[in-house]
Amino acid sequence: MEYYGKIWDKAVVSVNPKFTSQDCSNFGHRVKKTLSTRTHVCPSCHVEICRDTNAARNILNRGLEIIGIEWNQGTVDAERRAEGRAFRNLLVIGNALGDNSLC
C-alpha cells in the first residue's frame, strides 16, 4: 500500500481494524454479531447497512481521525462540491497490529 500511495501521491494511514464491523459507524454503539451476520443493524440509532460498508466507514473514520479530519455526511457532501482533496489524497489500510503511524 505504501508503494501505491507514493505512485498516486496519497497519504497512507494504517489503522487498527478491531471491532470495525461491530461498532456502529454512526455513533459507535457496539453491536456484537457472528461472522455469518452480513447486515449491521444498530438498536441505538436504527441504521441498517451492509456489515462491510459499516466496517469501511469505521476504517475511514479512524484514518481521518489520525490526520485530523472528522468524517460525516456533511463533510462528504462539501467535499463532493469542492475539490475533495482530503478524500482523494488518503489511502486508509487496516493493520491488525494497530500501528497508527502516518507512512
The helix/strand/coil state of 23 is strand
Is residue 66 packed enough to be buried (19+ CB in 10 Å), middle (13-18) or exposed (0-12)?
Answer: middle
Residues 40-58 have pLDDT tens digits of: 999 999 999 999 999 999 9
Whole-model pTM? 0.66
For 55-87, write each residue's pLDDT tens digit: 999 998 898 888 876 655 555 555 444 444 444
